[in-house]
């Protein structure tokens, strides 16, 4: 099962490599990983997506906790949560295709953020499945480049992950 794990960790050099190292060392896989400092500059927030049954996720969570730099760990998939991913797509767009691409972008509520003579750069945010669907919907259009941020997630409601 796909899980989204949020980790609050010290914003120290080496902290990220400890988390990444843990996954490879213990044979857990990482599907995506995002990390950046939070409003408190001493802390970073990381979102990881991985696959595993309850037992594996429990092991991963315990191992993450064991890292000295890790302050808090939660499995977002345990409760109500929101997840988002940002994608930038560069497509070939000339002639008739320009209008067609524009129409698909509008349907998906994306934005065209760069317009070249024969290309567009499109920005799209949403759950990962929506981003997949968008690529699918582009159909015949030639996709030149895709950049995805990986999933970021947060709990719904008042509960917050804080140090």
Partner 1 sequence: MELLSGGEATIRALRDSGVKYLWGYPGGAALHIYDALFRQDDVKHILMRHEQGATHAADGYARATGEVGAVLVTSGPGATNAITGIATAYMDSIPLVVISGQVAQEKIGGDAFQETDMIGVSRPIVKHSFMIRRAEDVAETIAKAFYIARSGRPGPVVVDIPKDVTDPNYKVPYRYPDKIRIRSYQPSTKGHSGQIRRAVKVLLEARRPVIYAGGGIILGNAADQLTRLARQLNFPVTNTLMGLGGYPGSDRQFVGMLGMHGTFEANTAMHHADVILAVGVRFDDRVTNTPDRFCPGAQIIHIDVDPSSISKNVPADIPIVGACDAVLDEMIEQIETAGEGPDAAALAEWWQQIDEWRRRHGLYTAPRHEPSVGSLIKPQDAVRALYKVTEGKAYITSDVGQHQMFAAQYYLFDQPRQWFNSGGLGTMGYGLPAAMGVQMAFPGADVACVTGEGSIQMCIQELSACTQHQLPVKIINLNNQALGMVKQWQDMQYGSRYSQILYEDSLPDFVKLAEAYGHVGLRVEHIDELEDKLRECFSYKDRVVFVDIQVDPHEHVYPMHVAPGSMRDLWLSKTERT
User: At how many degrees (to 10) do helices 54-66 and 15-25 cross?
Assistant: 140
Counting residues that bind partner 1 (by CB under 8 A) gives 20
Instruction: Find tokens 């030149």 and name the residue.
Output: 144
Pick the closer one to partner 1 by CB: 10 or 100: 10
162 near partner 1, rule: CB under 8 A? no
User: At how many degrees (to 10) do helices 96-107 and 128-137 cross?
Assistant: 160
Q: Distance between CA atoms of 11 and 9, rounded to whole angstroms? A: 6
The answer to whether 38 touches 101, Cβ cutoff 8 Å, is no
Rounded to the nearest whole angstrom, what is the least distance from the CB of residue 2 to partner 1 in the complex? Answer: 22
How is residue 140 annotated by DSSP? Answer: T
Rounded to the nearest whole angstrom, what is the least distance from the CB of residue 33 to partner 1 in the complex? Answer: 17
103 near partner 1, rule: CB under 8 A? no
17 near partner 1, rule: CB under 8 A? yes
> Residue 54: which residues within 8 A CB-CB, separation 6 or more?
none
Rounded to the nearest whole angstrom, what is the least distance from the CB of residue 58 to partner 1 in the complex? Answer: 7
| Number of residues in the chain | 163
Pick the closer one to partner 1 by CB: 16 or 97: 16
* Runs of H (alpha helix) within the chain: 15-25, 54-66, 96-107, 128-137
Q: Which residue in 4, 9, 35, 131 binds partner 1 (CB under 8 A)?
A: 9
Pick the closer one to partner 1 by CB: 18 or 84: 18
Q: Which residue in 16, 18, 23, 135 binds partner 1 (CB under 8 A)?
A: 18
Q: Which residues form the interface with partner 1 (CB under 8 A)?
A: 9-10, 13-14, 17-18, 21, 25, 55, 58-59, 62-63, 65-66, 68-71, 163
């Amino acid at each position: 099962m796909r899980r989204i794990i949020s980790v609050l960790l010290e914003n120290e050099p080496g902290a990220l490599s400890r988390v990444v190292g843990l996954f490879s060392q213990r044979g857990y896989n990482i599907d995506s990983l995002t990390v950046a400092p939070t409003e408190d500059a001493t802390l970073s927030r990381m979102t990881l997506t991985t696959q595993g049954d309850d037992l594996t996720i429990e092991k991963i969570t315990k191992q993450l906790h064991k890292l000295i730099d890790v302050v808090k760990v939660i499995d977002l998939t345990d409760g109500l949560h929101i997840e988002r991913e940002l994608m930038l797509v560069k497509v070939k767009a000339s002639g008739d295709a320009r209008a067609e691409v524009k129409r698909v972008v509008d349907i998906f509520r994306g934005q065209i953020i760069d317009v070249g003579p024969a290309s567009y750069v499109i920005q799209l945010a949403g759950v990962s499945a929506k981003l997949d669907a968008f690529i699918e919907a582009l159909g015949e259009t030639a996709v030149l480049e895709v950049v995805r941020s990986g999933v970021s997630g947060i709990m719904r409601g008042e509960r917050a992950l804080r140090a």
